[in-house]
Amino acid sequence: MEVCESAVDPLEISSALEFDGLSDQLARKRYGASDIFALAEEMFRRVPRRPTEPERSADPWQTSKVLPVLHGLLYGLPTACFAVSTRLLAGRNVLIILIVSLLASWAQSQGLAHLGYARLGRAGHAQAARLLLVGEGVGLAGVACALAVTSLVVHVQVAALIFGLGLGAYMMGATVLMVLGGERLLLIALAPGVLGSATFLILGRPAQLEYAAWVAVAATPVLALTLAAARSSQVAGLIGKTRRARKEQPAGQLVTAAELRDALPSAGFGLVAASLLVFPIAVAGLGHQVPATGALLASLPLALSMGAAEWLLVWFRRRTQRLMRGTLELRVFTPRARLVLVAALLQYLGAAILLTAALVTIASLANLVHLDATVPPQIAAYMALGGGMFLALLLQAFGSRTVPLVACAAALAVEIATRGLGVWGQLMTCTGLLVVLAVYAGVLLGSPVRHAY
């Protein structure tokens, strides 16, 4: 009876009957059926479908609630060092160096993270650590080359070049540590720079402490690089000894051409995303337009909100997997999955808005910024950009990397073309990006096939 209630066609019933030893002769003798297949068809017709629930499998998307919060802090805390750099570094061309360093660092760190996670999943910690150790040095060399070329075009102070190189060093080291699960080590690396910067700002930026602030800020990238190299060397060495003890095959090629090609969309997305974030600040700083106060106020909350984005990615996975198990008809799944997507997006935007409101309130009460009519639209544009980035990350988590990259690149091109409109052009572009990615995500993630793995 249970087989009949759960069967999807008569053949499944006939197979079960044959497995129990029932032959065509017995089917005719006992049940008056011409053969076993006729009996299976009659049973399938008479018994209503009441499939039994399968055993509940373990949730593959269980994750620590503390880890996303820690990641959010790790994304946001380095911005304190930028607040110090605006006082310690003077000159119009300093902003150019910082932007070049940020763009080169983001692009290479995203590409390195993709390579590291891909190798981690395919070959384990040893080969991933080996690849990351070399990639850390290559990425830092790439940042140094970008800064060297920039220094040939514009005249900059040596201090600005050192700060830009330090930014790249921190990004490379932080990428390696986070891929290898060394978040606590990264907190140790951040401690001197963040604590020194916070102390310098709280004391009113006294001139006599500028040198000490420089030393504190410089310690962070040095520690990040050192701890990342130590961590990757340790992991590669320990796993390597285990492999030799088991007489396994030695590690093969460090990185293949196919892996590098597969990492290009991630590197491109890092470059475009960083460009969207810094473009309004660059226009304001280099073009002497309206100060990008709103952009500066929104940068820290957006960085912190990446922790909420990380948690919501897992939340979306868990809800859609639960929906797949509880939905009997595929046509019912699509609208429900889209509602879950809308809920995830609204939760992210809510978290980003709350973080931004808290920072604006603190900055206003402390008289750190002067708020005017240009600030709300600037913050609104960055909130829309944050929503677009969240959807882009969600799509990439489901294997769609080309469309988010193209959409963000198109948004950057539109923002550059409409820079004369100021913040209203940015708001229009970022809102358009959010709408485009939301529509595409609704179409793509509404398909049950995307949630089958």
Do 168 and 292 touch, CB atoms closer than 8 A?
no
236-245, 342-351, 432-441: least confident range: 236-245
Q: How many residues belong to the chain? A: 453
Does residue 250 surpass a pLDDT of 70? no
Does residue 349 surpass a pLDDT of 70? yes
Query: Residue 86's closest CA among 203, 216, 223, 197?
Result: 197
pLDDT (0 to 100) of residue 429: 92
The tokens describing 406, both together, are 């193209």
Mean pLDDT of 214-239: 84
Does residue 407 surpass a pLDDT of 90? yes
pLDDT (0 to 100) of residue 163: 83
2-11, 249-258, 372-381: least confident range: 249-258
Do 317 and 63 touch, CB atoms closer than 8 A?
no
pLDDT (0 to 100) of residue 64: 62
Query: Residue 260's closest CA among 398, 124, 126, 135?
Result: 135
- Distance (Å, rounded) from C-alpha 205 to C-alpha 198? 10
The tokens describing 198, both together, are 């916070």
Q: CA-CA distances (angstroms) from residue 240 to 22, 243, 251, 252?
A: 57, 5, 9, 12
Name every residue whose Cβ is closer than 8 Å to that of residue 282 and which is 6 or more positions away in sequence.
95, 99
Element (H, E) at 137: helix 125-153
pLDDT (tens digit per residue) in 62-109:
666 667 667 766 776 676 666 666 655 555 677 788 888 888 988 998
Does residue 404 surpass a pLDDT of 90? yes
In the numeric block, the tokens 């129990």 are attached to: 20
Q: How confident is the model at residue 120 (pLDDT cuts 50, 70, 90)?
A: confident
Please, what is the average pLDDT of the chain?
Answer: 80
Q: What is the pTM of this model?
A: 0.77
Q: What's the number of CA atoms in the CB half-sphere (13 Å) around residue 73?
A: 12
pLDDT (0 to 100) of residue 263: 86
Query: Residue 368's closest CA among 89, 60, 171, 83?
Result: 83
pLDDT (0 to 100) of residue 452: 63
pLDDT (tens digit per residue) in 123-140:
778 888 888 888 889 999
87-91, 320-324, 434-438: least confident range: 87-91
Give the three-state DSSP class for 164. helix
Could you tell me the residue ranges of all domains in the chain? 2-46, 65-255, 265-276+288-453
Name every residue whose Cβ is closer than 8 Å to that of residue 305 and which is 6 or more positions away in sequence.
72, 348, 351, 352, 355, 386
pLDDT (0 to 100) of residue 248: 40
Compute how many other C-beta atoms are within 10 angstroms of the C-beta atom of residue 308: 24
Do 80 and 197 touch, CB atoms closer than 8 A?
yes
Q: How confident is the model at residue 245 (pLDDT cuts 50, 70, 90)?
A: very low
Q: CA-CA distances (angstroms) from residue 238 to 175, 388, 400?
A: 21, 41, 35
Query: Residue 279's closest CA among 269, 292, 298, 270?
Result: 292
pLDDT (0 to 100) of residue 214: 81
pLDDT (0 to 100) of residue 251: 52
Does residue 418 surpass a pLDDT of 70? yes
Residue 329 is classified by DSSP as: S
Share of the chain above pLDDT 90, in %: 14
195-199, 203-207, 366-370: least confident range: 366-370
Please measure the distance between the N-terminal and C-terminal CA atoms of the chain and give it in whole angstroms.
32
125-129, 154-158, 192-196, 388-392: least confident range: 154-158
Does residue 382 surpass a pLDDT of 60? yes
C-alpha of 403 from chain center: 16
pLDDT (tens digit per residue) in 13-59:
788 888 787 888 877 878 778 888 888 888 888 777 676 665 665 55
Q: How confident is the model at residue 246 (pLDDT cuts 50, 70, 90)?
A: very low
pLDDT (0 to 100) of residue 82: 65
Does residue 241 surpass a pLDDT of 90? no
pLDDT (0 to 100) of residue 249: 42
